[in-house]
Structure 1
Amino acid sequence: MSAEEEKTMAIHQVMDRMAAVQHKSQAFVDRINRQESLTQNQIMLLFQLRLTGKLNITDISERFVITPGAASSMCDRLEEAALIERVRTKEDRRVVNIILTEQGERRILDLFDRFATAELDKIADTLSKIQILMDEIIE
């Protein structure tokens, strides 16, 4: 096999594995979202808010690679469901942060109720390994 054919095969394998990881990641979010009415992006936004404490519309649009208008619409739906709220900062009333409500916090925890702690630990360990490998590739 020539060097060019080997490289073509390697490229194919990388694309195939990336697609498989993306598919499995989406399947996992679908699994935790099985009985929910939220979209994957809405769930991921709730996760991001739980991890960061707050985000503004610009942060959300950059993290999700969507327009500020689309980020605002996503927040509108979550606000209507009482999962998030918009809070103006005291320093600059023009700045609006998005935070989780208590109901949003409970909703996130409820998503993971069907998993045992040992299973969650295994999932976190596996995702950590993937993250380390991806960090090595990106750097």
Structure 2
Amino acid sequence: MEQESKVLIERYMAAYFTVTKRMNGELREVLQDDMTMDQFQIIDYIVMQGKVTSTELADTFAVGKSSITAIITRLADKGILERTRDNDDRRVVYLSLTERGIGHYKKAQAKIMETLSTYLVHFNAEEVEGFLGVFEKLAYLLEEESGES
């Protein structure tokens, strides 16, 4: 069983590295003028949450606050994000998208959808659902292990 596990893990690692390397390269290429993948992921998270704090982003993406601050500053300078202070506690700063940011997000999302769609057409609906189910289960296990769920 140990040898079988080793082979499965090696297969997973080989596929993972190929997919992430190639897919990230393609996505970086289609987003090059609009934003980086890190910026897109942060914007996507803000779209889902509505408004967030930089601490929440740092925790969610498991990076230092200085990294988040640098990304936020670049996005704010481009007019994509806006900072709003909490009325009750002026130390708390919320981040949300501007109208311009929503436009950039929709444009980037459309490019990503178009890119990913070219690969999904090679699978039937059952294969896609099966893959996503397993992938989401792995994500859940990883979040549970790190105490994020």
Q: Is 1:108 paired with 2:105? A: yes
Question: Quick one: distance in 2 between partners of 1:91 and 1:77?
Answer: 27
Q: Is 1:64 paired with 2:61? A: yes
Distance 1:4 1:113, change over 3 A: closer
Aligned partner of 1:12 among 10, 13, 16? 10
Aligned partner of 1:33 among 17, 31, 34? 31
Aligned partner of 2:70 among 73, 76, 83? 73
Distance 1:129 1:59, change over 3 A: farther
Structure 2 unaligned runs (5+)?
145-149
Question: Quick one: distance in 2 between partners of 1:127 and 1:88?
Answer: 42
Partner deviation per Cα, 1:35-80 (whole Å, 9 max, x = no partner)? 33x2211111111111111110111111222111211111011100
Aligned position for 2:90: 93
1:97 CA drift (Å): 0.6
Question: Quick one: distance in 2 between partners of 1:54 and 1:84?
Answer: 10
Question: Quick one: distance in 1 between partners of 2:105 and 2:130?
Answer: 24
Answer yes or no: is the 8 Å Cα contact 2:28–2:36 preserved in 1. no
Aligned residues: 132
Aligned position for 1:132: 133
Q: Is 1:42 paired with 2:39? A: yes
Structure 1 unaligned runs (5+)?
none
Aligned partner of 1:53 among 32, 46, 50? 50
Partner deviation per Cα, 1:77-136 (whole Å, 9 max, x = no partner)? 1100000011011121111011000000011112244566xx49x69x887654421233
Question: Quick one: distance in 1 between partners of 2:110 and 2:135?
Answer: 29
Question: Quick one: distance in 2 between partners of 1:90 and 1:127?
Answer: 45
Question: Quick one: distance in 1 between partners of 2:32 and 2:128?
Answer: 20
Give RMSD over aligned pairs.
2.8
1:25 CA drift (Å): 4.0
